[in-house]
Structure 1
Amino acid sequence: MATPLSLNTLDQLPETIGKPSYARSDLSGGILHFGVGNFHRAHQATYLHQLFNQGKGHDWAIVGAGVMEGDKRARDVLAAQDWLTTLVEQEKDSSGAQIIGSMVDYLEPANAQAIIAKLADPAIRIVSTTITEGGYFLDATDTFDPTHPAIAHDGENPDTPKTVFGMIVAGLKARRDAGHAPFTIMCCDNIPHNGNVTRNAVVGTARLSDRDFADWIVTNVAFPNSMVDRITPATSDRERQIAADEYGVQDGWPVFCEGFIQWVMEDNFPLGRPELEAVGVEFVEDVAPFELMKLRILNGGHAAIAYPGGLLDIHFVHEAMEHPLINAYLAKLTAEEFLPGVPPVPNTDTSEYQKLIDRRFSNPKIGDTIRRLCLDGSNRQPKFIVPQIRDALARGGSITGLALESALWCRYCYGTSESGAVIEPNDPNWDMLVATSAKAKDDPQTWLTGLPAVYGDLAQNEAFSTAFAAALNALWTDGTAAVLTKYLEDQPL
């Protein structure tokens, strides 16, 4: 019988489960984190847990926060187990579980005044974010969009904000008015130049209501860039059952992930930071080379296997890697179109990094799903694929495989797989994508011009639009397997 997870039951859990060596009473909140999801708990929260286990940094515990009504259910689940999380790390030949205890509180989601009050607390010296790639209000040129209705609301109502950035601005202003130094804002999302992007969002939001204060933020607030990495699937009943059956712990929201973990970050923390280098975080002067390598090879690779996998009714990511055509497509696309756009990375062999990514994608235990990789393409494509197309065109490189990836995404958004199975909504803009994909079946250019937030002026590029149209027409005429075969054999699509 599985033991319900709580502080009072830690001693009752099986000895095989790792448990915190520190007491909850030894911790105090130093970081307020927006976006308490699986990745955050498998990554930032885990690094801090490991540091606390060394007896270090106990004043850097996490206080959770959220701005969405849906965050309330997550808070309720974690509150019932005293903010503890069961983390299960799985590799092909090994697995293990531990209890993560680095969170000490989770503020009531969408309670702007409570969150602003905590942001104003001088004990909070870092504010971190994991709010997904689509949470930064970017347009097709990766520029902050101050006209978005949610941001416009916060500009007009700075004292009652609804977005993360509106709350951060209000918190910074409260600190300044109280004579407290500003916290550092640390983005942990998978976006290029994530610190710079976060700065633009915070400053852009502030500028709508107080231009002088926006200038103060530019001068006084630190936004370190970072690269984060760990494959972390969504939690389902499958994971809850495994936690109970194999590890003897009843956890309403366990986190399953791979064993691999990486965090590379600029060291720019005026109010101090946890000693994260003691647990493997790498601090560097310039994150950009590491970030670009990861975004192009790993995130681009995820996109490359996602949509053919979805169209061929493949459920798990490791099963897509076992499919000879999908595996070969990823290898050819990476070698010919991803890697040429990756500059040298300090102390890193990019070809070995590619092999590492292949091994990680092929992990059969992690249970990562093709549907998760297909999620939110309208926000992920402009960050992981479209920049690679632009760069390849600029250097005169091949875009055949990249155009095919875009066409596979378009075909997926038609809403049915090749077997005729219905693809359930899988994007915030799903209805619009389905309608646009239907039009593109007869006129491929409709897809490019109909998604200005994704493609921008790339829709007018003749080389790309021609390659895209050829790939999409071929997918509808010949099917995914035949088109992948043609691509692999260097035949015209």
Structure 2
Amino acid sequence: MNLSNNTVNDIAKNAAIVTPQYDRDNTKIGIVHLGPGAFHRAHQAVYTENAMNVAGGNWGICGVSLRSATARDVLAAQDNLYTLAILDTAINYQVIGALKEVLVASEQSPQVIARLVSPDTKLVTLTITEKGYCLGADGRLDLTHDDIINDLASPSQPSSAIGYIVHALKQRKASAIEAFNVLSCDNVSGNGDKLRRAVIDYAAQIDTHLAAWIQTHVAFPNAMVDSITPKTEDYTIDSVSKAIGARDEWPIQREQFTQWVIEDNWQGARPAWDKVGVIFTSDVDGFEKAKLRLLNCLHSTLAYAGSLAGFETVFDVTNDDAFYQFICRLANDEVIGSFIPPKELDVEAYSKEIIARFLNPEIRHLLSQIAWDGSQKIQMRVLPIIADNIALGRSTKLLSLSLACWFEFICRALKESRDIVDPLAEQLINNSALRSNDCGEVVDAFLAIESIFSAELAHNSDLRSQLVNSLTALRNTTNITDINLVVEKLC
């Protein structure tokens, strides 16, 4: 049988599979989500599903795809139901019913606008990536962006997410309908602030009174999201369908860990997300910093050090005792304590939970992918920790080793004529000093890249010395698989 409203009750007879616990047929749509891709269906839609299971409410979701019809066409055939497979040592399954409707804006614009203007719609959420905000380098709306040019020329027939939001708010204002709130769920720092800037800049081009009304009546909370969501493959469809006893043509899979942190500046109603694990806080920045410094710093460290040692995935390298000890020591000795965590976060427990995530055998996260764009990533994930530790008089020896692993990763790629996936690839390739066997010359060449290193770090003699020692230790250790031998030489 196929997954549908007619078969979900049969599926529910299997006590191991969670199915909707609320009256789905009579639940109204209260959320319009722009960009109903894999992450939304595995993250925000699941939190909303669980909130309705616990507390009810009219929080059904209308997913709006701006262009692609795939989600609509596949999910409509199964009454917009789909299965979430939670990947861990044991795999758990949940049928999700929160997504009640999927529209395609490029084909169904009037229906999309009607749904956005409906008084039942209390919230608009988005996962459209930062590109969808149509911002320029100065952080303001890019008025030369093709979509913005087209939308401003014909505001009642928008094509961009920004155009749809503003047009709907304009109609709600004119009809004296309460404004909806707008919540970005993109993995972008300051996502609410950026989205707010884009929406208000756009509205100001149409009507300054509308822009002022939006500023007063619409909340744009910042938010942080986290959960690894592997791509749905053919084997995913087959294995999930077998597990639930019904054919599901578009299930989704996700690791057990999931996190959603939202700025608590809300206006109006919202689902009972606080009852199902969502954290409302005044310090989203603090949570983002914790994620960058623990999850992302450790990820990048493993990507470069693990690749040098010949490992392929995060699980493989973390499952090695020496590397496990190394990243635990890095987290405990030099990352925790480099920043003030939010009051709602137990940073030691969070650190342990992150490392436990790396040991999930069901998640195949390639080190080679994490290693991409290192010149950008280390500026967010490693260098701020080094700078803060220097200012605090704390150790940076292990962080210097992490940074030296990126140096050596690039150097080996150059010497072996392998491709470098990095925005500075051409500059790195043309820097002959990076092929040198002199560790001091290599370190100086990297530190001289002004787009990566601040003058304060580049001219810090202690940091330079640690980097030279770390790179030397890496090159003089026959088998980097035993990373502890390298650490012993440095500490």
Q: Distance in 2 between matches of 1:490 and 1:137?
A: 49
Q: 1:487 to 1:230 in 2, by over 3 A?
A: same
TM-score, normalised by the number of residues in structure 2: 0.78
Q: CA deviation at 1:322?
A: 1.4
Q: CA deviation at 1:358?
A: 1.2
- Residue of structure 1 equivalent to 2:226: 229
Contact 2:401 2:467 (8 Å CA) reproduced: no
Q: Given the alignment, which residue of 286, 289, 304 partners 1:289?
A: 286
- Residue of structure 1 equivalent to 2:268: 271
The alignment status of 1:98 with 2:80, answered yes or no, reads no
- Residue of structure 1 equivalent to 2:64: 65
Residue 22 of structure 2 aligns to which amino acid in structure 1? Y
Contact 1:267 1:285 (8 Å CA) reproduced: yes
Q: CA deviation at 1:343?
A: 0.6
Superposed CA deviations along residues 349-408 of structure 1, whole A, max 9, x for unmatched, are 322221121112212134444456456768766654555455456556555655665665
Residue 8 of structure 2 aligns to which amino acid in structure 1? L
Residue 7 of structure 2 aligns to which amino acid in structure 1? T
Matches within 5 A, 1:188-203: 188-203=185-200
Matches within 5 A, 1:369-448: 369-370=366-367, 373-374=370-371, 383-385=380-382, 387-388=384-385, 391-392=388-389, 395=392, 432-440=423-431, 442=433
Q: 1:280 to 1:350 in 2, by over 3 A?
A: closer
Contact 2:135 2:142 (8 Å CA) reproduced: no
- Residue of structure 1 equivalent to 2:75: 78
Q: Distance in 1 between matches of 2:416 and 2:343?
A: 46
Q: 1:178 to 1:154 in 2, by over 3 A?
A: farther
TM-score, normalised by the number of residues in structure 1: 0.78
Q: 1:161 to 1:402 in 2, by over 3 A?
A: farther
Specify the structure having the higher radius of gyration (Cα).
Answer: 2
Q: Given the alignment, which residue of 355, 358, 367 partners 1:358?
A: 355
Q: Distance in 2 between matches of 1:97 and 1:417?
A: 45
Superposed CA deviations along residues 75-132 of structure 1, whole A, max 9, x for unmatched, are 333233322221112333x332110110011120545844444322322111112234
Matches within 5 A, 1:104-119: 104-110=100-106, 113-114=109-110, 115-119=112-116
Contact 2:62 2:102 (8 Å CA) reproduced: yes
Contact 2:386 2:396 (8 Å CA) reproduced: yes
Q: Distance in 2 between matches of 1:239 and 1:61?
A: 26
Q: Distance in 2 between matches of 1:261 and 1:347?
A: 16
Contact 1:337 1:402 (8 Å CA) reproduced: yes
Q: Distance in 2 between matches of 1:279 and 1:136?
A: 29
Contact 2:286 2:340 (8 Å CA) reproduced: yes
SS in 2 for 1:489: helix
SS in 2 for 1:97: strand
- Residue of structure 1 equivalent to 2:47: 47
Contact 2:223 2:261 (8 Å CA) reproduced: yes
Residue 18 of structure 1 aligns to which amino acid in structure 2? V
Q: Distance in 2 between matches of 1:446 and 1:119?
A: 54
Q: Distance in 1 between matches of 2:390 and 2:330?
A: 15
Q: Distance in 2 between matches of 1:451 and 1:137?
A: 28
**Matched-pair identity in %:** 32
- Residue of structure 1 equivalent to 2:439: none
Q: 1:422 to 1:211 in 2, by over 3 A?
A: same
Q: 1:313 to 1:490 in 2, by over 3 A?
A: closer
- Residue of structure 1 equivalent to 2:2: 4
Structure 2, unmatched stretches of 5+, are: 435-441
Contact 1:32 1:62 (8 Å CA) reproduced: yes
Q: Distance in 2 between matches of 1:405 and 1:197?
A: 32
SS in 2 for 1:122: coil
RMSD: 4.3
Residue 107 of structure 1 aligns to which amino acid in structure 2? L
Residue-pair matches, total: 476
- Residue of structure 2 equivalent to 1:168: 165
Q: CA deviation at 1:255?
A: 2.0
Residue 20 of structure 2 aligns to which amino acid in structure 1? P
Q: 1:249 to 1:488 in 2, by over 3 A?
A: farther
Residue 353 of structure 1 aligns to which amino acid in structure 2? Y
The alignment status of 1:343 with 2:340, answered yes or no, reads yes
Q: Distance in 1 between matches of 2:425 and 2:274?
A: 46
Q: Distance in 1 between matches of 2:127 and 2:115?
A: 18
Q: Distance in 1 between matches of 2:373 and 2:173?
A: 37
Contact 1:188 1:228 (8 Å CA) reproduced: yes
SS in 2 for 1:106: strand
- Residue of structure 1 equivalent to 2:437: none
Q: 1:7 to 1:382 in 2, by over 3 A?
A: farther
Superposed CA deviations along residues 419-444 of structure 1, whole A, max 9, x for unmatched, are 98878xxxxxx585543442356457
Q: Distance in 1 between matches of 2:205 and 2:383?
A: 30
Contact 2:374 2:422 (8 Å CA) reproduced: no
Q: Distance in 1 between matches of 2:426 and 2:300?
A: 21
Q: CA deviation at 1:158?
A: 6.4
Contact 1:120 1:171 (8 Å CA) reproduced: yes
Superposed CA deviations along residues 189-245 of structure 1, whole A, max 9, x for unmatched, are 333343333323333444566555444432321122333333332323343343244
Stretch of structure 1 that moved more, 188-197 or 96-105? 188-197
The alignment status of 1:34 with 2:34, answered yes or no, reads yes
Q: 1:269 to 1:240 in 2, by over 3 A?
A: same
- Residue of structure 2 equivalent to 1:458: 454
SS in 2 for 1:272: coil
Q: CA deviation at 1:272?
A: 1.0
Superposed CA deviations along residues 55-92 of structure 1, whole A, max 9, x for unmatched, are 611x111111233x4x4333333233322221112333
Q: CA deviation at 1:286?
A: 3.8
Residue 462 of structure 1 aligns to which amino acid in structure 2? A
Stretch of structure 1 that moved more, 459-468 or 350-359? 459-468
Q: Distance in 1 between matches of 2:482 and 2:202?
A: 45
Superposed CA deviations along residues 251-291 of structure 1, whole A, max 9, x for unmatched, are 33322223333333334332311122333333344444334
Q: 1:5 to 1:312 in 2, by over 3 A?
A: farther
Q: Distance in 1 between matches of 2:69 and 2:473?
A: 42
Q: CA deviation at 1:417?
A: 11
Q: Distance in 1 between matches of 2:77 and 2:415?
A: 43
Q: CA deviation at 1:486?
A: 7.3
Q: 1:235 to 1:471 in 2, by over 3 A?
A: farther
Residue 278 of structure 1 aligns to which amino acid in structure 2? K
- Residue of structure 2 equivalent to 1:259: 256
The alignment status of 1:125 with 2:122, answered yes or no, reads yes
